[in-house]
Amino acid sequence: MSTKDFIEKDYYKVLGVPKDATEAEIKKAYRKLARENHPDANKGNARAEERFKEISEANDVLGDPKKRKEYDEARTLFGNGGFRPGPAGGGGSFNFDLGDLFGGGGGGPQGGAGGFGGGLGDVFGGLFNRGGTGTAGSRVQPRRGQDIESEVTLSFTEAINGATVPLRMSSQAPCKACSGTGDKNGTPRVCPTCVGTGQVSRGGGGGFSLTDPCVDCKGRGLIAQDPCDVCKGSGRAKSSRTMQVRIPAGVSDGQRIRLRGKGTPGERGGPAGDLYVVVHVDAHPVFGRRGDNLTVTVPVTFSEAALGGEVKVPTLGGPPVTLKLPESTPNGRTMRARGKGAVRQDGTRGDLLVTVEVVVPKDVTGKARDALEAYRDATAGEDPRAELFQAAKGA
C-alpha cells in the first residue's frame, strides 16, 4: 500500500463510516460488510469478490489506530487534489512512502520503486523549505542544487601554475540509519502544527503574510515518533566527500573562484549548484606577486651596478634568465624579464619584475681593500651629499 493509495482511496467511504467514526463503529461496519460480501456467500460473484477485497483493505488501515492516523495525515497533506501522483505508484511498503510519491510523480530521475532511499531528504529539504511557496499541494519542480563554499590553501607555485587539489567537503545529507526520516522505524508522523508544510504563516502588515519555518518540526514537516538514535530525530547527518578540484592557473591570495556545477547535485533533474572556493596562497621565500607579474629582488655588487654587467636571475619553475645591467644602475631599479610572470587567463604570462639591491661586502681585505682605497682616493673630489645640503637650505 503506497501513499498513492492513501490519496486515491477513501476507506471511510468504502466502509460507509464517517471520518470521526470510533473504533467500535469501524469494526461493526467492517463485520457487516465482510459478511455480506464474503466469497463463501457469493460464489462466482466477481463484483462481491472485488468489494470484499476493498473492504478488507480499508479495514486493514482504519482498523489499526496507528495506520489510521497515518492515513488521515497523508490525506490531510495530499488529499486535497492539488497533487496528482503519477502512474509509478506500485508496491511500496506500507510506510509513509513519500519517496514513491514524489519520485514517481513524473517518471523523473528519482522515479520508480518506492522506499525511502534518499527520497525523504530531498522532499523535505526541497519541497517544504522552498521560500514561502512550499504548500503541501504544490507541484514538484526540478530544483537546482545548493551552492557550496569552501576554501583551499595553495603553495605559491600551485597558484601560479594551477593545480588539482583534493577538497574535502562536508554537507548535510539524509541520515543513513533512518533514511532521513528522523524516526527509528522510518515512520515519522506529519507535524500537526504546520500540517507537514514545514512552514507557518503569520500575518504581516498590508495584507501580506510571512512564513516562518515551523518551530515544532524545525521546518521538516515531520516529527519522529521514536527518534532515531543516530541523528537524534533530525533526519540529517553530516556527510563528507572528497572531490578533486581543478584550480585554474594564476589565482591570487584571497580570490574567490567559482566552479560551475560542482556544488550540491540538483534534485529531480535540476542542475547542480556551484562550488565557490576561496583560495589562500602561501608566501614564497623568494618571489612575490603583483597582479600578473612576479617580483624578485636580486643582490648585485657595487661594481656590477656601477660598471654594468650580466646578472643571472632565478625564475619560478624555469631556468634562470640573464639580465643585462646597464652602466650606473642605481640601487633599487626595477627591470623587466618579459613573459616570466604569472599565467594570465588567456594563457599568456605576465613579467618578472627584477629589483636590484646593491650589497655592501661584509669584510673587505687584501687586493679588494687596496682597490677600494684607491677608488676612494680617486673620487675624493665627489660629494654625494652636496645636493642634499643645497636642497635642505631652500624652501
Rounded to a whole number of angstroms, the minimum distance from the CB of residue 5 to Zn ion is: 25
Residue 106 vs 174, nearer CB to Zn ion: 174
Nearest to 48 by CA among 40, 35, 38: 38
- How far, in Å, CA of 169 to CA of 101, rounded? 31
Position 296 contacts Zn ion (CB under 5 A): no
Q: Count helices and strands (H / E) in the chain.
A: 11, 15
- How far, in Å, CA of 92 to CA of 185, rounded? 16
CB 272 within 8 A of CB 147: no
Q: Which one of residues 151, 216, 370, 373 is an interface residue with Zn ion (CB under 5 A)?
A: 216
Q: CB 235: neighbour CB atoms within 10 A?
A: 29
Q: Which one of residues 14, 140, 231, 305 is an interface residue with Zn ion (CB under 5 A)?
A: 231
Position 193 contacts Zn ion (CB under 5 A): yes
Position 217 contacts Zn ion (CB under 5 A): yes
**177, exposed or middle or buried, with CB in 10 Å at 0-12, 13-18, 19+?**
middle
- How far, in Å, CA of 295 to CA of 300, rounded? 16
User: Which 3 state secondary structure label does DSSP give 127?
Assistant: helix
The residue count for binding Zn ion (CB under 5 A) is: 12
Rounded to a whole number of angstroms, the minimum distance from the CB of residue 131 to Zn ion is: 16
Position 175 contacts Zn ion (CB under 5 A): yes
- How far, in Å, CA of 283 to CA of 131, rounded? 43
Rounded to a whole number of angstroms, the minimum distance from the CB of residue 235 to Zn ion is: 6
Position 136 contacts Zn ion (CB under 5 A): no
Rounded to a whole number of angstroms, the minimum distance from the CB of residue 122 to Zn ion is: 16
Residue 8 vs 212, nearer CB to Zn ion: 212
- How far, in Å, CA of 169 to CA of 150, rounded? 7
Position 177 contacts Zn ion (CB under 5 A): yes
Residue 230 vs 306, nearer CB to Zn ion: 230
Binding residue per annotation — 84? no
C-alpha cell at 281: 596562497
Q: Which one of residues 178, 281, 300, 352 is an interface residue with Zn ion (CB under 5 A)?
A: 178
Residue 10 vs 216, nearer CB to Zn ion: 216
Position 190 contacts Zn ion (CB under 5 A): no
- How far, in Å, CA of 283 to CA of 153, rounded? 11
User: DSSP code of 57?
Assistant: H
Query: Binding site for Zn(2+), residues?
Result: 175, 178, 191, 194, 214, 217, 228, 231
Query: Binding site, residues?
Result: 175, 178, 191, 194, 214, 217, 228, 231
Which residues make up the interface to Zn ion (CB under 5 A)?
Answer: 175, 177-178, 191, 193-194, 214, 216-217, 228, 230-231
